[in-house]
Amino acid sequence: MSSFRITFHIRGADYAVIPLAADPAVAAKAYRLHKLVPEGNSYDVYLDKHGPHCECMGFLRWNKPCKHILTLQAAGMI
């Protein structure tokens, strides 16, 4: 069995990307982006029939793709 780690560097911060098991009734894909600093925040991003969603304040406030969504889209992950 092999293993790997995905880390994205977004606006000066490193984030570990953790795939989540998505319930097909809720989402097609889901990831947790965990900021790699002491007491770093984690943000869940998921893709459903309406498009990508993130639980970060930027997405919740503006309801448009945030840096977390845009990074996963650029990587072809959502």
Q: Region 8-30: what's the mean pLDDT?
A: 94
Per the CB < 8 A criterion, the answer to whether 46 and 26 are in contact is yes
> How large is the C-alpha radius of gyration of the chain?
12
pLDDT tens digit sequence for 21-75: 999 999 999 999 999 987 789 999 999 999 999 999 999 999 999 999 999 999 9
Pair of tokens at residue 75: 């990587």
Query: Considering the entire predicted model, what is its pTM?
Result: 0.90
* Location of structure tokens 């072809």: 76
Q: Are strands 42-48 and 13-19 parallel, antiparallel or unpaired?
A: unpaired
Q: What 3-state DSSP class applies to 35?
A: strand
DSSP state of 57: H
